[in-house]
Structure 1
Amino acid sequence: MTDYTAVITGGSKGIGLDLAERMLDKGYTVISIARGKSPDAPGELIQMSADLLDAEAVAETARDIAAGHEVTHFVQNAGVIWPNLLEEATPADITGLAQLQLGSALTLLQAFLPAMKARSFGRVLFNGSRAALGVPTRTAYSAAKAGMIGMARTWALELAPHGITVNVVAPGPVLTDNFWGIVPKGSERETQLAKSLPVGRLGTVRDVSNAFLYFADPENSFVTGQTLFVCGGASVGTLSL
């Protein structure tokens, strides 16, 4: 089997777009699911619009993709942070991010799973976060990302007999729009944060897509249920954003 089809949520920008471009270069068919379409994306990228917070929209998109494609790679990459202190956090924050990060992944993979099982091959990847270990102002976000790790480990056990691996890439501070939504771009805070990391710099989208490509490689069939922190050493000690 040499034909691969990857579905990437949030593939219209940042980490998702970089990964999409690199998979396209490898000859994959790549489908992005995002709220909006990117005018900067390669023409070969199939862009589908859907709000992953809307469970019905996700289900409809999942059916449409499964009807026209045999998906071999599924990357749950899309995410938002919604930061706030404990006193301002709400149950709706948790419910919303659980749907975005976990519920939509469940619906999409359920649609793609029959094709993966029929081929006895699949790669399921999650964009997690170092925040799963705890970061101030991340009640809902940390909960969703920690839940992602548990869900991935469970799926890894269930799907291993079918040749399907499930792994998590957990970035630390990476220069993306989500990061700059918390830390002003080019600010002194950004500079100091970079200095505080063991490697002395902030991450790039390429650092993260490198890790995704490792797990996505068809030859890597003996690694499943794992979480790889791509964080410049931040997960070794403590870090506050």
Structure 2
Amino acid sequence: MGLNSYDIKGKVVVVTGSSQGIGKGVAIGMAGEGAKVAINGRKTEKLRAVAREIEEAGGEVLPCPADLRDFEQVKAMMQRVKEHFGRIDVLINNAGGSFSHNLEDLSPNGFDAVVRNNLHQVFYCCSAVRPIMAEQGGGRIINISSVAGLRGTPGLGAYGAAKAGVINLTETLALEWASYNIAVNCIAPGIILTEGMEEVLASSEEAKRELERRIPLRRLGVPEDILNACLYLATEASSYVTGETIKVAGGGTGRF
């Protein structure tokens, strides 16, 4: 197995939540490696800006605005990608998000919203893409969880519970869908220096240094770190890997 095992050229890759942050970095990186990329988000203008960036670099991209909390919109999006590109080789479930919360102060509606944003839509996207991948003979699904899903994280209780659910869902889907030749794996990022995180840390260089001190590799992650893990799981290099979770956190424990 040589370096060509990491080749993604010509593959059709769907990246959810790709109008900003990790998803944006992964989508642009995949396009840069020659993949045909379908990008998704709820904010159309941000999505168009990412599409322009990919096109200007010579990449092939299909913007797919959709609310992934609505299963009918998810099914329509996957069908649109199939009709446009002819197939879907890789689905990267990146969309999600949260806010700082103590569980004692979190309302049931707030808990439901966090779980819906981080777990339900992963299941919706997997369910919608399965018939397409099964019909074409297989595919790859990469679910983005978090180190918060690997252990308790004060201030992120609902988020951590949802991301733990993503890990368990990944393992079960891998077992149930192996007969379709669909590999399902997971990535658990640590602290990634996205635009949003940069804004949070902009006012305190000391806070940034403290976060770096907690990480054995002594640096915060960047979207390219997640892209590299996605490339491995999306290509033939990982052809015998399914049901696994790769922590990409610089050796950090996950406690923010």
TM-score, normalized by length of structure 2?
A: 0.84
Q: What residue number does 1:225 align with?
A: 243
User: Deviation per CA, 1:79-133, whole angstroms, max 9, x where unpaired?
Assistant: 1122211222122233223222222222222222223112322110011100111
Q: How does 1:24-103 map to 2 (within 5 A)?
A: 24-36=31-43, 37-40=47-50, 41-43=53-55, 44-68=60-84, 69-103=86-120
For the Cα contact (< 8 Å) 1:10–1:32, is it kept in 2? yes
Structure 2 vs 1, CA of residues 27 and 168 (structure 1 numbering), >3 Å: closer, same or farther? same
**What percentage of residue pairs aligned between the two structures are identical?**
33
Equivalent pair of 1:166/1:224 in contact (CA under 8 Å): yes
State the TM-score, normalizing by the size of structure 1: 0.89
Aligned counterparts, 1:1-241, within 5 A: 3-36=10-43, 37-40=47-50, 41-43=53-55, 44-68=60-84, 69-132=86-149, 133-180=151-198, 183-185=200-202, 187=204, 188-235=206-253, 240-241=255-256
Q: Deviations over 1:118-177 (max 9, x none)?
A: 232211001110011121111110011000000000000011122211111101111014
Change (3 A) 1:33 1:144: same
Cα distance in structure 2, aligned partners of 1:17 and 1:122 = 22
Q: Which runs of 5+ in 2 are unaligned?
A: 1-7
What secondary structure, in the 3-state scheme, does the structure 1 residue paired with 2:130 have?
Answer: helix
Structure 2 CA distance for partners of 1:180 and 1:94, relative to 1, 3 Å: farther
**CA distance 1:52–1:97, shift in 2 (3 Å):** farther
Deviation of 1:38 (Å): 4.2
Q: Give, as a single letter, the amino acid of the residue that structure 2 aligns with 1:73.
A: V
Does the residue aligned with 1:80 lie in a helix, a strand or coil?
Answer: coil
Q: Which runs of 5+ in 1 are unaligned?
A: none
Deviation digits for residues 205-231 of structure 1 (CA, Å, limit 9, x no counterpart): 111111111111134211111111111
Output the CA distance in 1 between the equivalents of 2:153 and 2:38: 32
- Residues 88/142 of structure 1: CA separation in 2 closer, same or farther (3 Å cut): same
Q: Give the whole-Å Cα distance in 2 for the aligned partners of 1:2 and 1:232.
A: 28
Q: How many residues align?
A: 237
In 2: Cα distance, 1:66 partner to 1:174 partner: 31
Question: CA separation in 2, counterparts of 1:38 and 1:218?
Answer: 31
